[in-house]
A = this chain, B = another copy of it.
Amino acid sequence: MIQALNSAMDIKLGQDPSVVILGEDIGYFGGVFRVTDGLQRKYGESRVLDTPIAEGGILAAAIGMAVNGLRPVAEIQFADYIYPAYDQIVSELARIRYRSAGEFYAPVTVRTPCGGGIRGGQTHSQSPEALFAHVAGLKVVMPSNPYDAKGLLISAIEDDDPVIYFEPKRIYNGPFDGDPHKPAVPWSTHPKSEVPDGHYTVPLGKAEIVRAGDDLTIVTYGTMVHVSEAAARGLGLDAEIIDVRTMVPLDSDTICNSVARTGRCVVVHEATRFAGLGAELSATIQERCFWNLQAPILRVAGWDTPYPHAFEWEYFPGQARVAKALKAVMEAS
């Protein structure tokens, strides 16, 4: 996935002179997760900028650059550190087109690694997507595999609206089924690791049915796509698994059509449960599929606590937690 993301930026930097990249340690060093490795050497210090450690300043500068015709891709080193930039994102980035009636707009892409599973503790593990999905004017994206990662990032950079692009860091180097005791598997073992070298896009606003099935619908995204697949497999369920991919704008038709058909649904994400994106997914599905539902829609999520260092795997919604919900939804009647 790291190479796929790097390739997306490499291609856009090469194709479009207005694309610039900025962030902490992203230039000479290539980023703490190496996602921007080699780009400064290739495109120079004026297009791949190391910045001061000021997330608020990074976003403000990116907005100003965008207003002057550039297409900045800003990296926030960890999603847990995006809050100092929250005002510039919520009060400015999200609303410049609106308040200027379209005269000004800021096509900024904000890339940031999210999620746990790397022993990062409470400040290197957060999944704050809901805090952006609630804000009108932002597109919110999270890929679950290398192919989508590259295609969605290219779409995000080419999009004229601001995009908050979350990268589940636990699956940077390979898919993860939720069992930390198994040896790590590389992406090469996964079909979606086939990434074309050149330019291609995966459209924003389209969910993907990663597995068709009839028993129930699992709506999820990011790392949890893989955990959900494993959990359903483990129970021998013929689950339809939908990777949301773009949270805003949400592809509610793909989701609701599936649930209307299966009549059963579990929503899965890693973020804390209360007022998380799962609540929106559950509420929307319930409104539109109520008469088809044969069981309550259940949510599987992280607990409503900070992400604790020593209890990472008790916090993480692993296969056991997902399986319990799947069983409950299948048995309900």
Contact = CB atoms under 8 A, between A and B. Distances in A.
A173 interface: no
A134 interface: yes
Contact of A299 (B91, B283, B297, B305): B283
B304 A272 contact: no
B306 A297 contact: no
Interface string A25-40: 0000000000000000
Given A86-B83, A248-B274, A275-B279, A95 B136 contact: no
Contact of A306 (B95, B291, B305): B95
A200 interface: no
A234 interface: no
Contact of A123 (B91, B135, B299): B91
Nearest to A90: B83
A104 interface: no
Interface in A83-104: 83-84, 86-87, 90-91, 94-95, 98-99
Interface in A65-95: 80, 83-84, 86-87, 90-91, 94-95
Copies of this chain present? 2
A2 interface: no
State the 9 A-B residue pairs at the shortest beta-carbon distance, nearest first. A290-B296, A83-B87, A282-B283, A279-B279, A134-B275, A279-B280, A279-B283, A86-B86, A275-B280
24 contacts: A80-B91, A83-B86, A83-B87, A83-B90, A86-B87, A95-B306, A98-B122, A99-B122, A99-B306, A131-B131, A133-B275, A134-B272, A134-B275, A248-B274, A279-B279, A279-B282, A279-B283, A282-B283, A282-B287, A283-B286, A286-B297, A287-B298, A287-B299, A290-B293
